[in-house]
Chain A
Amino acid sequence: DQQVKQNSPSLSVQEGRISILNCDYTNSMFDYFLWYKKYPAEGPTFLISISSIKDKNEDGRFTVFLNKSAKHLSLHIVPSQPGDSAVYFCAASAVQFYFGTGTSLTVIP
């Protein structure tokens, strides 16, 4: 039972444009949400997080939006850079952490 879903396995964006990665969850008990970035043959690295009491959190080029009524989370990267090319996982937490299946982002120079 996949409690956190990323329905787009891949996304291609031109350098300088906005990348929008989406994530849906089913468990209303989740109260903390995170995005991780993963390069091949490396472990995931933390990118940005948001608590359920907020609807937006921003850190430089990265902004995470949370829509609790829709159980939807999104990550905006603007402007996108070639170095952003990686697999992005969203995660949700109540006690332990559940991860989505990932979206592979390619930023085209």
Chain B
Amino acid sequence: NAGVMQNPRHLVRRRGQEARLRCSPMKGHSHVYWYRQLPEEGLKFMVYLQKENIIDESGMPKERFSAEFPKEGPSILRIQQVVRGDSAAYFCASSPGTLSGELFFGEGSRLTVL
């Protein structure tokens, strides 16, 4: 399967723990986007990364959230000291980088904070 792979699909954390969500883009794609979908809401942009670079992180909360896309390996969205309000579905998407290409989404990672 050459699609966007996200893991874990489901993650349960207690308040104060750390959550790490991983995303492997489609083969040949060097651009990764992270979105969050809260219950009853749409897809909220969080961050846009290229290999080893953060291009736009205007949607990321200022504290506790970070993202990286290293030269080797998947992109990681890291949430430190999780709170109940972080419970959401986190979707990763990738694109080949052309300005007019579409995004290809993964199945999402559902984070539940107890």
Residues of A at the B interface (CB closer than 8 Å) are 6, 31-32, 34, 36, 41-46, 49, 51, 89, 91, 93, 95-102
Given A32-B99, A43-B91, A51-B100: A99 in contact with B42 (beta carbons within 8 A) = yes
- CB proximity of B33 to chain A, nearest CB, Å: 6
Q: What interface size band does chain B fall in?
A: 20 to 34
Most buried by B among A41, A43, A51, A101: A43
For the complex, would chain A's binding face be called helix, strand, loop or mixed by DSSP majority? Answer: strand
Please report the C-alpha to C-alpha distance between residue A93 and residue B93 in the assembled complex, in whole angstroms: 14
Asked if A99 contacts B48 (CB within 8 A), the reply is no
Nearest first, the 9 closest Cβ-Cβ pairs linking A and B are A101-B42, A43-B105, A99-B43, A96-B48, A46-B102, A43-B107, A44-B105, A102-B42, A32-B100
Please report the C-alpha to C-alpha distance between residue A49 and residue B100 in the assembled complex, in whole angstroms: 9
Please report the C-alpha to C-alpha distance between residue A90 and residue B43 in the assembled complex, in whole angstroms: 10
- CB proximity of A6 to chain B, nearest CB, Å: 7
Q: Which of B88-114 contact A (CB under 8 A)?
A: 91, 93, 99-100, 102-108
Cβ of B55 under 8 Å from chain A = yes
Please report the C-alpha to C-alpha distance between residue A45 and residue B103 in the assembled complex, in whole angstroms: 9
Please report the C-alpha to C-alpha distance between residue A89 and residue B45 in the assembled complex, in whole angstroms: 13
- CB proximity of A3 to chain B, nearest CB, Å: 9
- CB proximity of A75 to chain B, nearest CB, Å: 15
A99 contact set on B, CB distance < 8 A: 35, 42-45
A45 contact set on B, CB distance < 8 A: 105
Q: A49-B100, A98-B45, A99-B43 are in contact. List 4 more A-B contacts (CB 8 A).
A: A43-B105, A44-B43, A44-B105, A97-B93
Most buried by B among A34, A51, A96: A96
From A49, A96, A101, give the contact of B33 (CB < 8 A): A96
Given A95-B55, A96-B56: A89 in contact with B42 (beta carbons within 8 A) = yes
Residue of A nearest to B48 (CB): A96
